[in-house]
């Protein structure tokens, strides 16, 4: 794909977002903070990453939690998966919540989340009165059993 552009304002203390292994889908994002941030259980905070990006039209970036932080400390993203639009030019920030039972301290430069670049399709609507029939019909929310 065409290269994505990136601008970094984090005093170059941290490197470009990195894929940690050849096969990693996500690249880790760093907390661009100059002092520790303490998050008590149940609290949420917006953490800056120091990066601004520009992707070709048709691509989005998804911000996802890191499983290690989630299982060990209950740290996750309150918005589920963060959506970074291709036309967004602001700083990427991470909305984290502490769902654990203990305080968690974010340190400067810590890897707080990961970012996956994805293609998306822009849908067009066709307004109709009736939708086609399917075997599932209106069944959902577990109607097929456990
Ligand atoms: O975890 C996130 C989610 C979003 N954003 C930025 C990039 C995204 O393009 C913009 C808007 O996000 P979203 O559409 O999810 O939020 P909104 O509440 O709908 O805001 P807006 O009205 O600006 O679209 O905020 C982040 O930096 N981190
Ligand atoms: Mg929006």
Q: Which residues pair with 61 in a beta bridge?
A: 84, 117
Contacts 24+ apart (CB under 8 A), 10-17: 10/49, 10/50, 10/51, 11/50, 13/108, 13/109, 14/50, 14/109, 17/51, 17/115
Banded model confidence at residue 118, pLDDT cuts 50, 70, 90 = very high
Helix (H) or strand (E) holding 96: strand 93-98
- Confirm or deny that 79 is annotated as ligand binding: yes
Q: What is the pLDDT of residues 95-115, one digit of tens each?
A: 999 999 999 999 999 999 999
Q: Which of 73, 71, 27 is nearest to 49 (CA)?
A: 27
Nearest Cα to Cα of residue 64 among 14, 36, 15, 27: 27
Hey, whose CA ends up nearest to atom 15 of ligand 1? 83
Q: What is the pTM of this model?
A: 0.93
What pLDDT, in 10s, does the model give residues 30-68? 999 999 999 999 999 999 999 999 998 999 999 999 999
Atom of ligand 1 minimally distant from the CA of 91: 27
Tokens encoding 114: 């990961």
CA distance 71 to 38: 18
Known binding residue 111? Answer is: no
Mean pLDDT in the chain?
93
pLDDT at 87: 93
């Amino acid at each position: 794909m065409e290269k994505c552009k990136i601008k970094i304002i984090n005093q170059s203390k941290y490197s470009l977002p990195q894929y940690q292994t050849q096969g990693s889908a996500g690249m880790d994002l760093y907390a661009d903070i100059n002092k520790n941030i303490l998050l008590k259980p149940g609290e949420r905070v917006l953490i800056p990453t120091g990066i601004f990006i520009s992707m070709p039209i048709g691509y989005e970036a998804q911000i996802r939690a890191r499983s290690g932080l989630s299982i060990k400390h209950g740290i996750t993203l309150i918005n589920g998966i963060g959506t970074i639009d291709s036309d967004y030019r602001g700083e990427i920030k991470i909305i984290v919540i502490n769902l654990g039972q203990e305080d968690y301290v974010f340190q400067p430069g810590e890897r707080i989340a990961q970012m996956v670049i994805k293609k998306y399709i822009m849908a067009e609507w066709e307004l109709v009165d009736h939708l086609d029939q399917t075997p599932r019909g209106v069944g959902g929310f577990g109607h097929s059993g456990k």
